[in-house]
Amino acid sequence: MPTKFTIQQNDITSVPSDLLLLKHAKGFHGGDLLVANELMVAGICSEKEISPQPDNFVIVETNQVIAPTRVLFVGTPHLRDFSYAQIYHFAARAIENQASNHGWTLMNTDGRR
């Protein structure tokens, strides 16, 4: 089955999906900051638990605190060092290693850099 991509402008915490893919660029910024704060305030996780180093990742069950069932935080370099080639690597690694291995069918991500 071919992969289908759609682009929506919406609050990423309100769009249902199997997996929400976010970066952790040596800190939280933008959409990943919003999601991290919601998860931490709800007591789902601590900042340390969702702060992977570059090329590592962590998956968190959201327990319905936000619409996506799970959040995948992938560690990336600092934003100033996060090139388009690394963005491609980030997205490809997440899709190949997570969605296909777990049979998840709907994944969303924050498109801001």
Indicate whether 23 pLDDT > 80: yes
Give the percent of the chain with pLDDT over 70.
72
pLDDT at residue 83, as a whole number = 77
Q: How would residue 113 be classed by pLDDT, with cut points 50, 70 and 90?
A: very low
CA dihedral 25, 12, 93, 89 (to 10 degrees): -60
Q: Rounded to an integer, what distance in angstroms lies between the CA atom of residue 104 and that of residue 59?
A: 13
**Adjacent-strand bridge partners of 23:** 74
Q: Rounded to an integer, what distance in angstroms lies between the CA atom of residue 60 and that of residue 20?
A: 10
Q: What is the mean pLDDT of the chain?
A: 81
Cα dist from 65 to 39, 69, 87, whole Å: 7, 9, 27
pLDDT digits (tens, 9 = 90+) for 33-75: 999 999 999 999 999 999 999 878 888 999 999 999 999 888 8
pLDDT at residue 9, as a whole number = 76
Q: Rounded to an integer, what distance in angstroms lies between the CA atom of residue 69 and that of residue 12?
A: 12
